[in-house]
Amino acid sequence: MNKSILGLTLILLFGIGASAYAQSAPAGLAVVVNKSNSVESLSTAQLRKLVLGDVREWPGKKVVNVVLREGSSKVSQLVFANVVRLTEAEYRRYIMNAEFRGDEAMTVQSANSDADSARQVAGAAGGIAFVEVTALPGISSTVKVVRVNGKLPGEPGYPL
């Protein structure tokens, strides 16, 4: 009897823990840009260059305006780990050191939610941001979702 109760308790605890994690972990990321941007697809390498400031202009000479969620958010942590491949501190240092490399300083806009990210991207012709896929229904009318490596969020092989 005690083993049954212990087993049931472990199953319940594991299930609750997994459920809590699933609710707090993003289902995936989507890359969004201003609706006027002509870009339809980006590779992960191109995304990295945009976020690092190595590429500063879109086709058509629009200045890239990167919008990132606050560093402690799960969205930013996924961007740092999967796109930029730097820690948040390393990324901030890289951006700040641009002037020492002879580049013009890059400004990264901060957002506190996916809706705020979308609002900022919608208001800047060169805007780009990463948002949770689950936020797309509420923001898709204001921004354009860009393919990554030729895939849209939810398609097999989508990298984010």
Q: Which residues in the chain land under pLDDT 70?
A: 1-27, 99, 105
What pLDDT is attached to residue 26?
55
What pLDDT is attached to residue 8?
34
What pLDDT is attached to residue 22?
35
What pLDDT is attached to residue 70?
86
State how far the Cα of 25 lies from the Cα of 41, in Å rounded to an integer: 25
What CATH class is the domain 26-148? alpha beta
Domain positions in the chain: 26-148
Q: What is the dihedral of CA 97, 33, 122, 107, to 10 degrees?
A: 0
Q: Does residue 32 contact residue 118 with C-beta atoms inside 8 Å? A: yes
């996924």: which residue's tokens?
78
Q: Are strands 41-42 and 144-148 parallel, antiparallel or unpaired?
A: parallel
What pLDDT is attached to residue 96?
81
Q: How far from chain centre, in Å, is Cα 6?
A: 41
pTM for this entry: 0.79
